[in-house]
Structure 1
Amino acid sequence: MSLFWRIFAFNAVVLGAATALLLWAPVTVSVPVLLTEAVILVSGLVVMLIANAALLRIGLGPLDRLTRMMTTVDLLRPGHRLPEHGRGGIPELIRTFNAMLERLELERAASSARALLAQEAERRRIAQELHDEVGQSMTAILLGLKRAADEADGPLRGELRQAQEITRASLDEVRRLVRRLRPGVLEDLGLVSALTSLTTEFATHTGLRVVRRFDPGLPVLDQETELVLYRVAQEALTNAARHADADRVEVTLRHTDGTVVLAVTDDGSGTGMAREGAGIRGMRERALLIGAALDVTSGPRAGTRVRLSTPVSRKQS
């Protein structure tokens, strides 16, 4: 029986019982109303209201849970489903909602994958252009400044030397941007070497102390998984430098029970509750690409920890 007919039937029973009492029970209503008659009428009304409230609470309880989940569902945290409890049409409604959630999660994962792959392709293109065009042009300018400085006299030589140093610093910055956009170390030497290079450059650039703890004998991961781990570490380090007010950052990479776990922990001020900014949501989208779980914890004066756990398939290992 659907929820509508259940409520209608119960109300019909209650109203029918009240009508029967008025027709056949030795109960009358005087004018003016006597106290006993008023007590009986009020008691009957209270019973009817309580019975209707109980039925509506029981019948509409699953709808309340469904409404709360609709307002709190996050497609970047997949897997949340409502139990298919209730009677009438409630279980069918919950099944439909759960199926809709599953479709939305699959579509979100597919669209995120396309967007992130396009983003990586664009990063590679920009990095290639910076390396081939800007880098080579600045190298040519640097060589020209060197020749001019060698042939110049007096104050002009000093100015040319200064321009040469500025150009060299700019060229180093371009090369650093190229490495961030396209981690060639990751493609050539693997994840551990890429993370080592990333943390070394991060410590040099920011002045923070970085501690690395990498398990030996890590399993071989596919290229997509390694790229996600690298990008999550990169984003977590960037957040630590920008927002954490930290002095020390620890980067760990462990393999346990068929799972590779990356953790980036700082000793900064923390926020009490991790803010879901664009950086964290971007990390969650990357985690979805490889079926990984991302956990971000932060407490006041307790620092922030970003933890990514990805299962290792037999094919990978």
Structure 2
Amino acid sequence: MNQIKNQTRPIFPFTAIIGQEEMKLALILNVIDPKIGGVMIMGDRGTGKSTTIRAIADLLPEIEVVTDDMFNSHPSDYDLMSDITKNQIENKINISTEFIKVPMVDLPLGATEDRLCGTIDIEKALNEGVKNFEPGLLAKANRGILYVDEVNLLDDHLVDILLDSAASGWNTVEREGISIRHPARFVLVGSGNPEEGELRPQLLDRFGMHAEITTVKDPSLRVQIVEQRTNFDRDPFSCIKEFRDKQNQLKESIVVAQNNLPNVVIDYDLKVKISKICGILNVDGLRGDIVTNRAAKAFAAYENKYEVEVRHIIKVITLCLRHRLRKDPLDTTDSGTKVDKIVNEILS
């Protein structure tokens, strides 16, 4: 109990969140395989978007990082390591490590490019020949989650930088001929309210998954959600204790799935069917095919399976494709319904 009370700011338990299954699944799959490319969550105000995103970050097991490293460098994986740490290892300098909670970084709406990417002290570099780098939010988010609330109101230029870093896993800062590059592997989570406008299609397409959430209409379920939240606000530590076993079970499932993921296979015929669905829906490019394959594998791993089944694809494909369809302003059919219709025809 004391260990729980040491938390400075109690986080609502992920397993205590009622409903919003689509959003929860998208977040879990991106945590299992960050290469899915993040998730865009669109929904009404007050539907628990921020609560759920903070809860998934709090749920994750601690990660091992190099002590005093500004990029949360991994002690043995070169792809998740800063150049400083690489040099130390190559020069056989002993490094010490520590375990930290998975970083959860918020990008405020008014953030500048320097705040996001970091800055190089040009004066120090020219006068002393030292590359003095002040890390930005991308450095802090390495190996963690970067959350952008109201991403549809963020400057397009910053969204571009975010998506480029999320796709490549690296951030490069250049000034006056001086360049610094560091790992920036993170799960990008954006949320927004559709009333405030959509993202441009070419930006939206680069989010791996797109979850749509609506306000719960069922009165009894609404009462259940309100009571759950009231109990947490009144005594957060009792609520955390109540859900501790469920949290630990889910945490263990995620770790097992992460370890099993490289061994999961998808049959060639199923790959063809995924691509056929993308073709019929006129999905531009191949991102839809790639992300659906990845998400289906992650879901299979989450269910402790080593081979993707049709039901795994059916469960994830709408999340992967609905935001990639070309919008017809005169069409009243929901994009998710269009995907479901074709999926049922091809996979049933």
TM range (shorter): under 0.3
Q: Which has the higher contact order (CA 8 A, sep 6+)?
A: 2
- Of structures 1 and 2, the larger Rg is shown by 1
What is the TM-score normalised by the length of structure 2?
0.26
What is the TM-score normalised by the length of structure 1?
0.28
